[in-house]
């Protein structure tokens, strides 16, 4: 015990940083245990989709949603998650799977949804980035397909043998 006190006395900055990190970690864990929504992995999300048919909400911006999103996901940006959103409120009893591009916006939206009365809120850990790195399927809007649909087809010209 004497050596510990001596170490702390000789390394005040290091000891202070250790205590600060320990307090921050404990506060994080207490906050995590107190929240009313659950963070789930990609595998758990796939199980949830297959077993419970959740309402899947993509809370990323319009550009990211247009690039790719989980099949069957509804685009619900943060500005549309509010107390008066009837489309959302009629699904209060249904499980919700919530994600954004990198998992930064979704935790705040999950908290907002639990305050609106949703009881089964799940957030995809790592967001769509993690979903893609785990090789899960997504829906994409291809620019090439749209361009091909708008282009007139070139008429095939007959060869000299066919003409003659």
Annotated domain spans of the chain: 1-32, 35-141
pLDDT of residue 155: 44
The first and second tokens of residue 56, run together, are: 């899947």
What's the whole-number average pLDDT of the chain? 84
CATH C-level class of 35-141: alpha beta
Q: What is the mean pLDDT of residues 87-95?
A: 87
pLDDT of residue 146: 41
pLDDT band at 109 (very low <50, low <70, confident <90, very high): very high
Above 70 in pLDDT, residue 164?
A: no
Which is higher by pLDDT, 136 or 161? 136
pLDDT band at 86 (very low <50, low <70, confident <90, very high): confident
* Contacting residues for 122 by C-beta, under 8 A, at least 6 apart: 37, 38, 39, 40, 44, 45, 48, 54, 95, 96, 97, 98
Percent share of the chain, pLDDT over 90 = 55
Above 50 in pLDDT, residue 145?
A: no
pLDDT of residue 144: 44
pLDDT band at 143 (very low <50, low <70, confident <90, very high): low
Least confident of 7-11, 31-35, 124-128, 157-161: 157-161
Least confident of 24-28, 29-33, 51-55: 29-33
């Amino acid at each position: 015990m004497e050596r510990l006190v001596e170490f702390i006395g000789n390394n005040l900055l290091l000891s202070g940083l250790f205590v600060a990190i320990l307090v921050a970690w404990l506060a994080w864990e207490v906050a995590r245990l107190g929240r009313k929504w659950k963070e789930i992995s990609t595998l758990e999300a796939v199980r949830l989709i297959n077993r419970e048919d959740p309402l899947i909400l993509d809370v990323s911006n319009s550009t990211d949603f247009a690039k790719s999103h989980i099949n069957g996901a509804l685009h619900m940006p943060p500005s549309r998650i509010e107390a008066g959103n009837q489309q959302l409120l009629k699904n209060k009893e249904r499980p919700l799977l919530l994600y954004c591009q990198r998992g930064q916006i979704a935790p705040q939206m999950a908290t907002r949804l639990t305050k609106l009365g949703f009881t089964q809120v799940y957030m995809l850990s790592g967001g769509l980035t993690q979903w893609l790195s785990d090789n899960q399927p997504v829906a994409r809007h291809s620019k090439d397909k749209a361009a091909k649909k708008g282009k007139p087809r070139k008429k095939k010209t007959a060869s000299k043998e066919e003409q003659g």
